[in-house]
Structure 1
């Protein structure tokens, strides 16, 4: 179809349709806020003045930012979340980038990616995303993915891609913290058997790590982040001021996580033996042991052990000792439940674990309930009731 330019505006054209009727159209090219070339166009106007009025309206909309509504007509969920990630990557920390990227690529795109952002309503979102995820994941995990989705949609609203977030009122009941530790801990007797098995491992690094975790209730990342200057051998204390994972060193999880805790002679003696072993290992690779060095290192290269190696160690010991399978974090729960069973004050336990007393009460409510039942029985027995 041949078009001729109007004398009125360089973006205004006329042409003749199949019936040889004269019609008018406009074609206006511009760049959006992402630097991409766009074109707003429409044809079929019966008069030049009508086409010109619409062209002026489009130009005005672009200047006012309202044209984004036109741009978003064919924008899919997948494309928007790609734009959101790319635009904000340099402003986010590495863990945030990884968490959001994982959620987008593995859950949001597969379930919602092809849907146009303007067409997704709350009911469809719940059916195709929330309910699908709840079929295979815990409510807490689904809640985390839902939160990331809402943050991305909020960004679309802020950029005027869509008018409002239709999904912010959708609620997902999170797991009760106390249900997360059910069966993910050992009794004192089971822990003793576990540590015997850990000591029999060929890896002194893994035994030392598991002994520290079980004896202190540290989080895995906190143990991995320990350096030799964090150990006070004379006063039997360990200071926790950082955490380490696949993304490197980071500050502890919360302000309460910064703490110095007391440890027993067994842990200190093991650390002394382990330090001697580390010195010899480091020297074999041509390096002296420094205070700034991470405590937990691999015998194969003298470098820090990986987070995943502790998962393997816990699973291996549990299997060899014929114990139920727990996670590395289960050793933290084990430490806490043993202290609670011995009626150690909640404040003391909270300080030791780097939590608040309220969190201890919430997470270990089942243990406190068992103690309450026991206290009734003890009282009745004492009173011969």
Structure 2
């Protein structure tokens, strides 16, 4: 392609040229970058000399302000920015964070605006090209918020690193989005009914899982990672230090999630009953569980990521019980504690979360409060031996 012939105008660094029969304008501006290297910034296709001059003024202002990065990344696309962001952030990410970011960006963002220059992306563009179509597809508000958070993280990274001269996007309008299924706490009488049904009709591994989640508020990944070495019957504590998902064993979700959970009599009773069955199973299948995970299936294998959800789905369908997931049991635990006036900070310490997450407040928690709160479950949830 022949190079366009540029003709100087009376304004320094502004040129005009012919595009067909049209007269167009451009700027070509030379400057030194932060390393003292000579560079040139140029842009064409302005319809008037005033447009070219205004754009040049913006470039000069950014350079005078020391914002060379913004100037040098003027043509950076969303896809390119995302690659830079991942490279910078991945050293601090857990596998699930990396997986979620890459899945969201590939499936919902880059296929829509990946080729857009980051300087041209606005809230309106996000609304029209990403969120409005996804709302029509029926994605829930929670999913859409997750998508926006990923986009926002990438663009905030660009702003903080001076690839953008200002924040470009705000929260989209999601008022027409479908509301997701709200995770509700299950009433105490509902918990008693569920435990009774599973205890009398299903397997001891299923019953133990449900009991442990109800009595501790643990996340399902934390329960799957629990090993017998983490169970201190003498000291009456569970040491929750890891989680396990499809990527294997790893650190808990947050630093707060590593905790020593007081073992009440209900937890102890359930685990002792279960261990009789477990020890018998391991005599035949111990080679399948060399790590000593507590929860195994009837073939002696450590349970998979969706083990309990499949059982719950089956129980809900067969027994005509209102739908719930393992995470509902965590909500139930928190609800029971708070409704019985256990301090929010104590509840947060027990479930391995922050007080802000539980209820936007913070104070110190004491181990005696945690023990009393754990023992409270003995008074509320009535347990019978699995063999009864």
Q: What range describes the TM-score normalised by the shorter chain of this pair?
A: 0.5 to 0.7
1:315 alignment partner in structure 2: 313
How do 1:298-377 residues align onto structure 2 when only pairs under 5 Å count? 298-300=297-299, 302-357=300-355, 359-361=357-359
Q: Secondary structure at the match of 1:269?
A: helix
Aligned-partner Cα distance in 1 for 2:358–2:31: 61
Contact 1:197 1:320 in 2 (8 A): no
1:329: how far off?
Answer: 0.9
Q: Taking structure 1 as reference, are residues 62 and 226 closer, same or farther at Cα in structure 2, changes over 3 Å only? A: farther
1:126: how far off?
Answer: 3.1
Contact 2:69 2:161 in 1 (8 A): no
1:240 alignment partner in structure 2: 240
Q: Secondary structure at the match of 1:305?
A: coil
Contact 1:150 1:165 in 2 (8 A): no
Q: Tell me which moved more, 180-189 or 330-339.
A: 180-189
1:116: how far off?
Answer: 3.5
Provide structure 2 residue ranges, at least 5 long, that are not aligned to the other structure: 16-27, 42-62, 362-388
Query: When the two structures are superposed, what TM-score results if normalisation uses the length of structure 1?
Result: 0.65
Could you say what the CA RMSD is over the residues aligned between the two structures, in angstroms?
4.1
Q: Tell me which moved more, 239-248 or 138-147.
A: 138-147
Contact 1:224 1:243 in 2 (8 A): yes
Contact 1:279 1:289 in 2 (8 A): no
1:103: how far off?
Answer: 1.3
**Deviation readout 1:95-127 (Å, 9 max, x if unpaired):** 232121011012112332343433322322233
Q: Taking structure 1 as reference, are residues 345 and 180 closer, same or farther at Cα in structure 2, changes over 3 Å only? A: farther
Q: Tell me which moved more, 269-278 or 154-163.
A: 154-163
Aligned-partner Cα distance in 2 for 1:198–1:330: 16
Q: Taking structure 1 as reference, are residues 228 and 181 closer, same or farther at Cα in structure 2, changes over 3 Å only? A: farther
1:143 alignment partner in structure 2: 145
Q: Taking structure 1 as reference, are residues 173 and 313 closer, same or farther at Cα in structure 2, changes over 3 Å only? A: farther
**Deviation readout 1:300-332 (Å, 9 max, x if unpaired):** 3x3321221122122222222211111211011
Aligned-partner Cα distance in 2 for 1:123–1:174: 13
**Deviation readout 1:345-379 (Å, 9 max, x if unpaired):** 5454343333455544469xxxxxxxxxxxxxxxx
Aligned-partner Cα distance in 1 for 2:6–2:360: 67
Provide structure 1 residue ranges, at least 5 long, that are not aligned to the other structure: 2-16, 18-41, 364-385
**Residue 271 (structure 2) pairs with residue 271 (structure 1):** yes
Aligned-partner Cα distance in 2 for 1:280–1:226: 19
Aligned-partner Cα distance in 1 for 2:349–2:173: 29
Aligned-partner Cα distance in 1 for 2:143–2:272: 40
Aligned-partner Cα distance in 2 for 1:257–1:286: 29
Matched residue count: 313
**Deviation readout 1:220-249 (Å, 9 max, x if unpaired):** 222122111221223443222222222333
Aligned-partner Cα distance in 2 for 1:56–1:309: 63
2:120 alignment partner in structure 1: 119
Q: Taking structure 1 as reference, are residues 143 and 182 closer, same or farther at Cα in structure 2, changes over 3 Å only? A: closer
**Deviation readout 1:268-318 (Å, 9 max, x if unpaired):** 23322322333333332353976x522112333x33212211221222222
**Deviation readout 1:153-207 (Å, 9 max, x if unpaired):** 244456765544312xx146999xxx99956222111111111232245543222
Contact 1:246 1:307 in 2 (8 A): yes
1:213: how far off?
Answer: 0.2
Aligned-partner Cα distance in 2 for 1:263–1:76: 54
Contact 1:185 1:326 in 2 (8 A): no
2:130 alignment partner in structure 1: 129
2:212 alignment partner in structure 1: 212
Contact 1:76 1:116 in 2 (8 A): yes
1:7 alignment partner in structure 2: none
Q: Tell me which moved more, 236-245 or 89-98.
A: 89-98
Q: Taking structure 1 as reference, are residues 87 and 231 closer, same or farther at Cα in structure 2, changes over 3 Å only? A: closer
Aligned-partner Cα distance in 2 for 1:150–1:362: 23
